[in-house]
Amino acid sequence: MRPDSKRWVFVILAAIATLVGCAGRGKVQTAAPMSSGGSIITIEAGNYKFSPHEIRVAKPGLLAIEVKNVSGSEQNFTLKDLHGKILKSVYPHPGGSVIVNVELPEPGVYTFYCDKAFHSSLGMHGQIIVGR
């Protein structure tokens, strides 16, 4: 490999490492209780990240999730149960939002991610922690 080629490979790998390191950083937030029971939270789907990326819910029950697409491209929000089964999968349009109502019947860690190619591996994933 020529020295110029090695330099470009290094630059590209450094750029990818920077993107992976910055993606997925976000905040932890507790879902707000609703007067009708259950909880509510808003998640922003951006470029290779969800914010917040970790959500805490006090107890099992109904969770209303507003997924806002704050990017200029199509995003996805897929939520899995404790056993890896998909509970919900939605595609909010750029600049739009979708309300997801989901029953989280038992304490544990539920995972969510974007199913677009490479988005999850670049940091677009998170978790909902129920009752812990």
Task: Report whether pLDDT(101) > 70.
Answer: yes
- pLDDT, position 5: 61
How confident is the model over 2-27, as pLDDT tens digits?
656 666 655 554 455 444 444 444 56
Task: Provide DSSP, 57-91.
Answer: ESSSEEEEEEEEE-SSS---EEEE-TTS-EEEEE-
In angstroms, the CA 61 to CA 56 distance is 13
Over residues 76-90, the mean pLDDT reads 97
Given a contact cutoff of 8 angstroms between Cβ atoms, the answer to whether 77 and 42 are in contact is no
Given a contact cutoff of 8 angstroms between Cβ atoms, the answer to whether 131 and 109 are in contact is no
CATH class of the region 3-130: mainly beta
- pLDDT, position 22: 42
User: Tokens representing 69?
Assistant: 């697409």
- pLDDT, position 30: 75
How confident is the model over 21-36, as pLDDT tens digits?
444 445 677 777 776 7
Higher pLDDT, 94 or 29: 94
- Residue 127 pairs in a beta bridge with 54, 111
